Every structure is written in structure tokens, then in C-alpha cells.
Amino acid sequence: MVGKVREGRRGVTGHVAVVVLTWNQCEYTLDCLRSLAAQTLPHTVYVVDNASTDGTPKRVRDAFPDASLIANATNVGFATGNNAGLRRAFDDGADAALVLNNDTTLAPDALALLVEAADTDPHAGILCPAILYAQPPHRVWFAGATADPRTGWSHHRHHNATYESLGTDVRPMDRATGCAMLVTRACYAGAGDFDDAFFMYFEDVEYSLRARHAGFGLALVPRAVVHHHVSASSEGVKPANATYYGVRNGLVTFDRHAPRPLPAALFRHFCTVGAMVYYLLKPPRAPRRILDALMGYRDARRGRLGPRG
């Protein structure tokens, strides 16, 4: 449990870890690990495999024998999978750990720049790089995000802008993204694990709000650059589970961290579900997913979490 993690001083001074969660997509994973091998900052890699069926564990062992491999027997989801890697990393003495999607590649100095920013501002508990689309012209996918407790909406800032328009100054942000987020040891000791009950989607928003309530800042480090192979499905019609978990976990997150009187809470619920329905009715339309959104709302109200039944 995270209670065993000694907090120490804030900032990052020594051992840095990277946790890469995988579920199939072996070629992406290998590209990601190659980019980690090219980093200018020494670090330890933990690959957590969620029961891939495409040979990922063996190919990772063969190509990167120095990486620590944690092989789960089943797909335990984003939260539980990353928690296994984070616990191992901090138990092994990491001063900070980068949670990283397997479908990303890092600029060679990305990890060093994140750690430099963390050590410059010991108040920062979570730091994110600028994340660009892997496909040319490499526009911005993530450069900070909002988290509005009134509506329950969370939007990426500067989405689809040019990288050059971001500037280079480190700046605060409302919430991080689990695609690439550096968590300091002090923050992990104070905020704990990702919430296992979420299974997938919105864990990063919930964790960001929990870290903020624990007294930690969140920072974007634009000079640190990560490229992300955003799937075509996530940019078009939302899959059923993305719709369901997005509504359910979004409602749970803001009800937990920003409680409101009943009228305001119901307004937020209306905004959350309404925004999803509006999205699903826009081209390319997916009205069949509206039922998934309503089921997510039902289960949030009932407190039914964990994997979708």
C-alpha cells in the first residue's frame, strides 16, 4: 500500500522510473521502449502487460532484457495495471515515475526536462509534457486541460494548435493526462494510487483533483515533447466502453471532489450526459451509443463501479 512509501522531500533528485502499460499493440510498445532507451537521463523501465495475446511479453523480454516486466493474467484495466507498476517503482526507491502510454515516443530530452522542472518547482507533484500527434504535421493533442466542477466538463487546451504556438514557459494546468504524466514520490505518498474501481477512463482527472486537494501543483512542461499515436476510433465515433466509462467515471469524479447542493449537482449531471449525447449525435453519428451513456449515468448514481458488468 502507498502508506508504506516514505515521502521524503519534494522535488526529484535521484532514481527515476517509467511505467509503460501494454495491451497488445506490440510494435507501438517496442517503438516506445526504443525511444526510452535513447533518453539522455538514466532511468528504470517497468512494463506492465495486461494479458496481451500478440506476443508482447516475450518480445519485450527479448528486445529489452533490462526492463522489469510485470505480466498480469487478465486485463485489469488502466488503473490497476499502472498501480502495479507504480508500487514496484516506488518500492524500488524511485524519486519519480512517468506513467506512459505504450503508443507514444519521446524526444530524447523529454524525461530530463520533466525531471528538471520537477526539481525546480518542488510544489509540483504531477508534470506533463506537450503531447503531439505522431502523424504529420504533429499538431498539439495535449498541452494542459480544463476541469470545470460546475459542468463536469474537461477539455484539452490548445488542441490541434501548432507546437510553436505553445511557447516554452512551464505553466500550471487543471488536470493531467494518463498518456504521459510524471508523478513525484511526495505526490504519490500524499495522493496514493489511481482508483482501481474506475477500471478505465477518467482515472487521470480524478487523480489530478486528488493530488491538488493534497496540496500539490500540476504543471505543463512544453519543452518536453511526446508524440502520441492517437487511434482513429478515439478521434471519431466513441467506442461503447469509452462512452459508458466516460460518463460514469466523470460523474463520480466531480461528485467526489467538488460536491454541490442537489440542484447544482443535477445541473452538472445534465451537462455531463447532455454533452455526451450531443457529441454522439454529431457526424459521424452514433445514436446507438446513447444507451451506453445512460447506463453510465445509472451506474454512477447507484455507485456501481469496477469493470462494466
In CATH, what number does 2-230 get? Answer: 3.90.550.60
What's the rounded mean pLDDT across residues 62-76?
A: 97
Percent of the chain scoring above 90 in pLDDT? 89
User: pLDDT per residue over 187-240, tens digit each?
Assistant: 999 999 999 999 999 999 999 999 999 999 999 999 999 999 986 435 555 789
Side chain identity, residue 172: P
Measured between alpha carbons, how far is 250 from 201 in angstroms, rounded to an integer? 8
Is the pLDDT confidence value at 11 over 90? no
Q: Which residues contact 275 (CB under 8 A, 6 or more apart)?
A: 151, 153
Is the pLDDT confidence value at 1 over 80? no
Check residue 4 and give its pLDDT: 47
User: pLDDT per residue over 162-177, tens digit each?
Assistant: 999 999 999 999 999 9
Domain boundaries, the chain: 2-230, 234-302
Check residue 96 and give its pLDDT: 97
Give the range among 8-17, 55-64, 151-160 with minimum mean pLDDT: 8-17
What's the rounded mean pLDDT across residues 44-71?
A: 97
Is the pLDDT confidence value at 8 over 70? no
Is the pLDDT confidence value at 13 over 70? no
